[in-house]
Structures are given as structure tokens and as C-alpha cells.
Amino acid sequence: MPYTQVNNLDFADIKTAIKEYMRAETEFTDYDFEGSVISQLVDVLAYNTYYTAFNANMVVNELFLDSSTLRDNVVALAKQIGYAPKSITSPKAVIDLQLLFTGVAPSTVVLEKGTGFITNYDNALYEFVLKDDYRKEVVNNAVTFTDLPIYEGSLVVTQTVVDTSLKNQRFIISNSGADTSTLSIKVFESNNSTVSTTYEKAENILEVGSTDKVYFLSEVEDEQYEVFFGDGVLGEKLSNQNIVEICYVVTSGAITNGAKTFTFNGTIVDGDGNTITSPFSVSNLSTTSVASGGAEIESVAKIKFNAPKFFGSQNRAVTSNDYSAIVRKIYPAISDIIVFGGEDQEPPAYGKVFLSIKPTEAASLSAFTKNQLVNELKKYTVASIRPEFVDPSILFVEITSDIYFDGTKTKLLPTDIASKVASGILEYLKTSGTEKFNGKFRYSKFISVIDSVDRSVNSNDTTITLRKDFIAQINSSTYYEICFKNALLKDCDDPVVSSTGMTVFEHPQDTAFLEDRNGKLVLYRLDSITGDKILLNDSVGDVDYEKGEVKIYDFTILKGSFSDNRIELRVKPANKDIEVKREMYLEVDVSNSKFVAYKE
């Protein structure tokens, strides 16, 4: 009888199939397979078949982008559809620097690449560097540099001699912390040359000729990168004894996103490259754009998600998915993105496409980053379509939960149970898809998470509050409209709208607050002795409970609630399930939520 059973993958099933095959043969009629030496041989055959099947399955899985698990294989498969995974990305800040000379001043000052700036962020010191040289003339013993881009990390410069006698000479960037977006490559004719030619990265071979000075970049094994040069057909070919200088920033990634205070920590040179020894001081160092854009190396999961979408865009931005895929490739530090056409705006704005981006470590993009992205997108947009960035409107959900647990089923303290609930919600948020554009907060899901964090939890009493933050326009009579896009609760007894404290023009000595009363927004202060609410203005705005809108008219604020003049506005929603649309981004603020556990 031929052995035709090939769908068994478990060891026991394979062994049974082999025995049945052998029993069918006349040579082994009435043979005792369980108690004989041949049983060991059958085990060996079954194990060999089992491991072969397992290895074959794993090998076949690694041949496809969706099922592969090893990074090197995922990267190689992404290359086949023209997608280059993003490296780790350095946070970038923009500063203005003014130096004042107290003695004899040079005529020219050069800040060389690698010049350092120090920041103290989260109680740790980090270095930011320039990746290019910047030259300015000295005027009246002072020199001012504006819009200097600085990058977190350290600058690495390597030089390699081209040896055409080597058949497989490779130019490898072996540091996995290299930010390839900061990569610059220069080629010198020989070791004695002082004049170099800058090579640009080729993104599209259709635009590359035989004399174009370009290079190609590819991720290779173990998160390393390889630089390729032209062969005389696609790009100019390197000559023997050329010197290739590769310069890049090695960074820690997203850890310093948000850094905004810097100190100059470098040397300066004159126009001839000589170190300036004349005494000078830093008279001004201001930050025009805080550090942002830092991101970790693109993960396997993100490569699988982004690669097919980028391939579908075919290097042109036509549909909303095209814009989303291209922007994610240009700027990887994105938590979520939404794209919609101008025809969907109110009023319509034809000829425009609107993009709203929620960065990973910030509430919105800086103006500097927006301008950069607009310029980059011009390479991909078609006809007269103009991209325009809209800041995301973040809607925070704050949870207040009383948790009741059985003290006989656990040794945990009430504070431990409360911490466990907060951790459980954070874990749930990582996979639930709640925090995003077009996100949905499902009340029943979060209630279930709270109940399931520990077997001792019996029940919970949970309410939610919605919050939006707005920045006060200081010393300016301004109209504010805060939209929650969810219906608000109508409560005849207690206020539905409340705010944090602020200082207003009409009452500069008091800390004032906002709340609603019968559809009107009123201003009040608290009595310093009794704590009673004292009305200051009975109508500073209106509340539309159905639309979820709060409007404040001709309101002059002198000082906000926080150092950035931010004011927090909280409301009670009519429904426990919350949904957002368009540029509104849903975020569950666990840090401002309140969890209290009670032992029963």
C-alpha cells in the first residue's frame, strides 16, 4: 500500500500513520510495533518528518510579507515592492543664536558641522549637533545665526578609499542608531584633494542618468545600511582611489522629543578654519521650534502595514490613502493621520487636500515641520492640488471609577487594585484602536477591562468626562468656539461645563472660572473663606447641548491656567459611548483619570 497520508503535522499523528503503513505490508504482519526495537526507528522517522514539516512551514512563511517574522526577511520583501523602511529618526529642533565678541572680532564666523548644544531633559543631559556648516559675517562685534536646525545625537564621519580591484567592496553603515535622513555623502578625487562633490540620494531611477552624482541606500542585515553608487548607466561610477566620506547622526530616537532649552557647547572657527580664541559670549540662544520628529526604527509590524500602501501610491499622491502612505514615509513619528478633500470642508475649498497629523510625542506639528512636509509633498502631488495641514483637535476622555473588590480573594491593598486598573486600561488602549482619528470610546469595553483586571474585583461605578484644551489669546478680545462634537448632558441641578482657573481683563485680581447655567456660560470666582461661588458675569457665552459646542464672546484673558496659557474645559457627555470624526483625535487621558478601590 503506498503511503499517501501527507496532511498530518503532529508527531503522534505522523507516528501513527507510519505504523499503519508498515502494518499494511506483508513483511510486518502481526508485528508488535509497541514493544519492539523498531518502535525506536519509527520514533526517529516521525521526529524527522515532524521537524522537516515544521522547517518547511517556517521557510514558506518567510517568503511572504504578511507571514514573515524575521526583520531581515521582511525588509527584503518590502524592497521587492520598492519600499525602504525608515531608520531611527533624530529629534530636530530649530534655534536662533547670537554671539557677542568683547575683544577683536573676526570678520567671519563658521559653525562647523558637529558643533554641540546641550539640553537637560527629564533630568538627563543630551547633546544636539549641527549636521552642516553655517557661515555668517560679523557686524558690530556681533554675529547672528537664525533658523539653525540641530539634531539629537553625535555626528559620525567615516572615509573609505575606493578600490576597484575588490570585486565586492561594500560601503556599510554598521551603526543601527544611524539616522539615514541626516546622511550626507561627499566624494573626493583622491586622498590629497580638498574639493569634494556632494552626492544626492536617488529616490526614483527614472530621473537618474549616467552622469548624475547619486547614491542608493538600502537596509541590509542586522539593522545596518549599505550605500550603493552608480554603475555608469544609473548614476556616475566611482573611480579608483576616490575617497568616499559618509556623514550621519547617531541618535537615541524619540526620547528627547519636546526638548526646548539648549546651551551652546562648542567651538567656533573663522573663515579660514582657524579656531577663534577671541573672548565671546552667547548673548541670545532662543528656540523657535522645540525638538520633535524623533522616532524609533520602523518596526516589523509597521513595515508590513506601510509597504503595501506605499506601493499602491506608485510615488504619486492622488487618493487619501496615497497621501497617508507618503507622509508616513517622509515623517515616521506619526501616531495617526487623516486625509480629506477640500470638497468635504464647510465651506468647500476646491483644489486643496487637508491633512491632520497627530505626532507620537506632541499634540500637533510645529510650523517649521508643516512647511517641510508641504515642500516634500510637492514632489508627489498632481496637477494643481495643494496640500494643507490642519492641527488635530484632541478630545480627551477622563475616567472616574470607584472599584469594589473582595478583600478575602486577594492580598492586594486598595491602592494596588487602583494601580492595576490603570495599568490594565493602558494595556487595552495599545490594541483597542480607541486612540485615533475617527476613534470610538466604547463604555462597556472599558467597564469589562476594569472588572477583569483581578479576580477579586466585584463591580465598578464608572463615569466619564470630556475635556478639550485651548490656548488663551493674551490681552486680546477674542471669540472662542470649543466643539466637542458629542451631545452634552442637560442637568438642571449641577453644571455640565467647567473650566480651570484664569485671569480676565475685567477682574485682574481674581482667579475666575467658567460654568454653564441654563444654556448660558457664566464667569465666577470662589470666596477665599467660604468657598462659595461669587458671580462675576452672568453671560460670557452660550452652550449648545445638542451639538456639543461652547461659545465665548469677546473674552479677554490676561493669564491662562498653565505656563503655556492653556485652559482646560470639561463637559459631561449625554452618552457614554464617544465618537469623533474628521480632524478630531480621541485620546483617553489615564494620567488625569481617577481610580479609587474599596474593600468589601
Give residue-wise pLDDT tens across range 222-244: 999 999 999 999 999 999 999 99
Interatomic CA distance for residues 526 and 513, integer angstroms: 8
Of 589, 309, 304, nearest in space to 467 by CA: 589
**pLDDT over 90 at 593, yes or no:** yes
3-state secondary structure at position 26:
helix
Q: What is the dihedral of CA 45, 22, 34, 49, to 10 degrees?
A: 20
pLDDT score, position 350: 86
Interatomic CA distance for residues 47 and 44, integer angstroms: 5
Mean per-residue pLDDT, 459-478: 94
* pLDDT bucket at 384, cuts 50 / 70 / 90: confident
Mean per-residue pLDDT, 364-381: 87
Interatomic CA distance for residues 44 and 11, integer angstroms: 10
pLDDT score, position 41: 79
Interatomic CA distance for residues 30 and 8, integer angstroms: 25
pLDDT score, position 44: 85
Phi, psi of 254 (to 5 degrees): -80, 0
**pLDDT over 90 at 36, yes or no:** no
pLDDT score, position 4: 53
**pLDDT over 60 at 37, yes or no:** yes
pLDDT score, position 193: 87
> In the CATH scheme, what is the code of domain 314-390?
3.30.300.200
Phi, psi of 67 (to 5 degrees): -105, -10
Mean per-residue pLDDT, 541-546: 94
pLDDT score, position 8: 66
Whole-angstrom Cα Rg for the chain: 32
**Beta-bridge mates of residue 184:** 247
Phi, psi of 339 (to 5 degrees): -130, 135
- Strands 171-173 and 124-129 come out as unpaired
Q: Break the chain into its structural domains and give their ranges.
A: 11-61, 92-153+253-292, 155-250, 314-390, 392-600
| Burial annotation 157-187 (CB, 10 A radius, 16+ → b, else e) | eeeeebeeeeeeeebebebebbbbbbbbbbb
Percent of the chain with pLDDT over 90: 65
Give, rounded to a whole angstrom, the gap between the first and last alpha carbons of the chain. 70
Tell me the per-residue pLDDT of 481-501, one tens digit each, with 9 for 90 and over: 999 999 999 988 899 999 999
516 or 29: which leads in pLDDT: 516
Mean per-residue pLDDT, 390-397: 94
**pLDDT over 90 at 344, yes or no:** no
Question: Which residues contact residue 123 at a Cβ distance below 8 angstroms, ignoring those fewer than 6 apart?
Answer: none
**pLDDT over 70 at 288, yes or no:** yes
3-state secondary structure at position 101:
strand
Question: pTM value?
Answer: 0.75
Say how many C-beta atoms besides its own lie within 10 A of residue 336's C-beta: 19
* pLDDT bucket at 21, cuts 50 / 70 / 90: confident
47 or 111: which leads in pLDDT: 111
* pLDDT bucket at 184, cuts 50 / 70 / 90: very high
Interatomic CA distance for residues 511 and 152, integer angstroms: 40
pLDDT score, position 1: 45
pLDDT score, position 35: 66
Mean per-residue pLDDT, 585-600: 94
**pLDDT over 80 at 64, yes or no:** yes
3-state secondary structure at position 87:
coil
Pick from 23-27, 53-57, 434-438: least confident: 23-27
* pLDDT bucket at 50, cuts 50 / 70 / 90: confident
Give the orientation angle of helix 320-330 with respect to helix 300-313, to 10 degrees.
130
3-state secondary structure at position 42:
helix
**pLDDT over 60 at 2, yes or no:** no
Sheet holding 178-188, edge to edge: 154-161, 243-250, 178-188, 196-201, 214-219, 225-229, 171-173
Of 535, 175, 564, nearest in space to 364 by CA: 564
pLDDT score, position 259: 92
33 or 535: which leads in pLDDT: 535
Interatomic CA distance for residues 218 and 213, integer angstroms: 17
Tell me the per-residue pLDDT of 567-592, one tens digit each, with 9 for 90 and over: 999 999 999 999 998 889 999 999 99
Mean per-residue pLDDT, 184-194: 91
